[in-house]
Amino acid sequence: MMKTQIHSFLSIALLIGTLVVAPLPVSMPVYAQTDTIAQAISTYKKSNQRWIEVDLARQRVYAWEGKKQVYAVIVSTGKPSTPTVKGVFKIQSQHRFARMQGEDYDTPDVPYTMYYYRGYAIHGAYWHHNFGTPVSHGCVNVAVDHARWLFYWAEVGTPVIVH
């Protein structure tokens, strides 16, 4: 009897451990869920906080101070094969110039770079003028003069909402 109870206990513990450890079967990260993004936008609009909105459908970046839009610019986000990650983030670091490298690119002196998630950033793009069309490797490309404005307006910790 005792052996059966221990076996049952271990089976249940293993099952619970599997449920806790196994990743959730969602198609996109939790931070990219539509309600999370909508809730964040609503929260920031009720504050006086500066925040950045990246609208992938419209290929636009908006700078906000609470519910007041203070800047808008056309951008180029990730192409279908290298999409821009959606979600609610914060600027992690700012660099006046950065070198960006990938399997098929090596771009020196990328101006006004603001990393917000891993290798994803909002930055100036001097190598193309295809703004309004998704052509990047996942970053948010902005014309250099507009990237400069955003860079000096924002700071590390400024929220970035990508949808």
Q: Which residues are catalytic?
A: 123, 139
Place of tokens 């636009």: 60
* Contact indicator for 83, 136 with CB cutoff of 8 Å: no
Query: What is the Cα 36 distance to its own chain's centre?
Result: 13
Give the CA distances from residue 82 to residues 67, 77, 78, 93, in Å, rounded to whole numbers and listed in that order.
31, 9, 5, 22
In a 3-state reduction of DSSP, which class is residue 137?
coil
